[in-house]
């Protein structure tokens, strides 16, 4: 196990493909927190995020032979987690639509929308993490994912290009557009 | 103030921060920012937002995350322990060792030269053939006669053994 600790992710997955389960455990230890942070930004729920990351590792365990060393291991595992997170978001959206449409007018309750406009206590010109998360959550889907990958997870343009399967030029332009949208949303939330 | 260049300048934000703009475009952005307070504000707010995002508090997996995961995997494995044993590298190494041993044993059987007198437990065919080659016709017939006297089982055994060399077989049969 100690020898394995010095190995790269790609060497570990290769060892796991040769049935070394210690290599798998090390990969879990290396990636669990990173992936939970990634998925948590999508789902905003720690229990769901942890369940989804567990599901990601179960997939890695069962599909270990589908990894080919043409891509970085990190890219592969982020792709799996990202796909699961997006699919979970879609499921939630459907559930939400169903719940809303199944409610009668009398059944609906008025819930004031928290726009975060109460800026008392927030130092002007510096953003609190919660405020930013609220803004990210309001971004349209492609911008939301790219912001999480680039500005929170700090992945390279190249990795994002592989994960999202879009050209690098598109990644760069989307990152910029996402940032400008985020700035607009933050300004709006503060007004 | 927001002029027609503002859109273009704001689109350069990421490359400006990554330092990947050409010197000419970078100079253009610098000049614009020095004059345009609206774009200055956007760039400053973006800098602050990015700085907050980079230092955002991280969440951590629960302490029993790995244990729960491994038991989840173990519970969902169809063949459980036997599958694990089958997959384990130790079992495979043991299997390879046994297979290699068998190959060596079989190989030795063929390599050992029967004429040299070295014989293993399964070399009876070679020994008897040697007897057939070196003895004359009468001896062979005699051998068969004595085998006949010893009973059918012995005869069958001898005939079967001699069958491995066809010319010798003819000779023995003719003798009988």
Q: Is residue B128 part of a domain?
A: yes
Residue of chain A with shortest Cα separation from B18: A172
Residue A179 touches chain B, beta carbons under 8 Å: yes
pLDDT on residue B6: 94
Enclosing H/E stretch for B7: helix B6-11
Residue of chain B with shortest Cα separation from A60: B73
Within B36-136, where are the H helices?
Answer: 37-54, 65-76, 80-87, 89-111, 124-134
Residue A138 touches chain B, beta carbons under 8 Å: no
Instruction: Provide the sign of the torsion angle of the four alpha carbons B141, B142, B145, B147, taken in this order.
Output: negative
Say yes or no for a CB contact (<8 Å) between A36 and B57.
no
Residue B19 touches chain A, beta carbons under 8 Å: no
pLDDT on residue A176: 96
* Domain of B49, in residue numbers: 6-54
Q: With contact defined as beta carbons under 8 Å apart, do A52 and A85 qualify?
A: yes
Using the structure block, give the residue that is written with the tokens 């029967």: B114
* Tokens read off for B88: 């384990």
Do B42 and B10 lie in a common domain?
yes
Q: Is residue B71 part of a domain?
A: no
Q: Which of B10, B48, B68 sits opposite A54 (nearest CB)?
A: B68
Q: Kindly list the domain boundaries of chain A, sorted by start residue.
A: 1-111, 113-191
Q: Say which DSSP state A64 is in.
A: G
Kindly tell me the number of DSSP H helices and DSSP E strands found in chain B. 11, 0
pLDDT confidence band for B31 (50 / 70 / 90): very high
Residue B166 touches chain A, beta carbons under 8 Å: no
Distance between CA atoms of A96 and B159, rounded to whole angstroms? Answer: 88
Distance between CA atoms of A45 and A52, rounded to whole angstroms? Answer: 11
Please report residues of A whose CB lies closer than 8 A to that of B14. Answer: 172, 175-176, 179
Which CATH fold topology does A113-191 show?
Arc Repressor Mutant, subunit A (1.10.10)
pLDDT on residue B81: 46
Q: Which of A154, A172, A182 sits opposite B49 (nearest CB)?
A: A182
Same fold, A1-111 and A113-191: no
Residue B25 touches chain A, beta carbons under 8 Å: no
Identify the residue among A183, A185, A187 best suited for mutation to test binding to B, counting B beta carbons within 10 A and taking the highest: A183
Residue B2 touches chain A, beta carbons under 8 Å: no
Do B96 and B133 lie in a common domain?
no
Q: Is residue B171 part of a domain?
A: yes
Q: Is residue B117 part of a domain?
A: no
Query: Tens of pLDDT along chain A (191 residues)?
Result: 668 889 999 999 999 999 999 999 999 999 999 999 999 988 888 999 999 999 999 999 999 999 987 788 998 999 999 999 989 988 887 876 655 444 443 333 333 333 343 333 333 445 677 888 888 988 888 899 999 999 998 899 999 998 888 999 999 999 999 999 999 988 887 77
Distance between CA atoms of A77 and A140, rounded to whole angstroms? Answer: 24
- Counting the structural domains of chain B, the total is 3
Do B102 and B134 lie in a common domain?
no
Distance between CA atoms of A142 and B49, rounded to whole angstroms? Answer: 19
User: What is the pLDDT averaged over residues B110-125?
Assistant: 50
Q: Higher confidence at residue B81 or residue B128?
A: B81
Q: B103-130 as b/e, with b when 16 or more CB fall inside 10 Å?
A: eeeeeeeeeeeeeeeeeeeeeeebebbe
State the CATH class of domain A1-111. Answer: mainly alpha
Cα–Cα separations (whole angstroms), residue A93 to A43, A75, A85, A88, A96: 12, 26, 12, 9, 5
Using the structure block, give the residue that is written with the tokens 């929308």: A113
Say yes or no for a CB contact (<8 Å) between A46 and B59.
yes
- Is residue A7 classed exposed, middle or buried when 0-12, 13-18 and 19+ CB atoms within 10 A define those classes? middle
Residue B61 touches chain A, beta carbons under 8 Å: yes
Do B136 and B162 lie in a common domain?
yes
Do B108 and B144 lie in a common domain?
no
φ/ψ region of A128 (left if φ > 0, alpha if ψ in -120 to 50, else beta) reads beta
pTM across the whole model: 0.58
The C-alpha angle A115, A109, A43, rounded to 5 degrees, equals: 50
Do B10 and B31 lie in a common domain?
yes
């Amino acid at each position: 196990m100690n020898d394995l600790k010095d190995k790269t992710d790609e060497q570990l997955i290769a060892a796991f493909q040769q049935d070394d389960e210690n290599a798998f455990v090390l990969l879990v230890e290396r990636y669990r927190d990173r992936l939970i942070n990634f998925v948590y930004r999508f789902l905003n729920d720690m229990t769901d995020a942890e369940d989804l990351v567990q599901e990601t590792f179960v997939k890695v365990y069962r599909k270990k032979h589908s990894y080919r060393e043409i891509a970085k291991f990190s890219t592969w595992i982020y792709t799996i987690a990202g796909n699961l997170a997006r699919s979970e978001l879609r499921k939630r959206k459907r559930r939400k639509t169903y719940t809303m449409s199944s409610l009668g007018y009398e059944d609906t309750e008025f819930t004031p929308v928290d726009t975060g406009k109460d800026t008392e206590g927030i130092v002007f010109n510096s953003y609190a993490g919660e405020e930013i998360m609220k803004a990210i959550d309001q971004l349209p889907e492609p911008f939301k994912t790219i912001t999480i990958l680039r500005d929170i997870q700090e992945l390279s343009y190249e990795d994002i290009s592989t994960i999202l399967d879009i050209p690098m030029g598109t990644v760069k332009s989307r990152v910029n557009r996402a940032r400008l949208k985020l700035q607009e949303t933050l300004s709006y939330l503060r007004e | 103030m927001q002029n027609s260049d503002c859109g273009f300048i704001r689109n350069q934000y990421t490359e400006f921060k990554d330092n990947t703009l050409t010197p000419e475009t970078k100079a253009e952005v610098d000049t614009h920012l020095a004059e345009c307070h609206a774009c200055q504000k956007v760039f400053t707010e973006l800098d602050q937002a990015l700085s907050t995002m980079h230092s955002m508090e991280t969440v951590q997996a629960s302490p029993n995350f790995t244990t729960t995961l491994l038991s989840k995997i173990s519970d969902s494995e169809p063949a459980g322990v036997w599958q694990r044993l089958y997959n384990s590298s130790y079992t495979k190494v043991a299997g390879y060792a046994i297979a290699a041993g068998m190959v060596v044993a079989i190989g030795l059987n063929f390599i050992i030269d029967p004429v040299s007198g070295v014989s293993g437990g399964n070399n009876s065919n070679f020994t008897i053939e040697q007897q057939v080659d070196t003895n004359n016709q009468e001896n062979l017939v005699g051998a068969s006669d004595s085998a006949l006297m010893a009973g059918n089982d012995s005869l069958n055994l001898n005939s079967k053994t001699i069958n491995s060399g066809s010319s010798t077989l003819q000779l023995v049969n003719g003798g009988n």
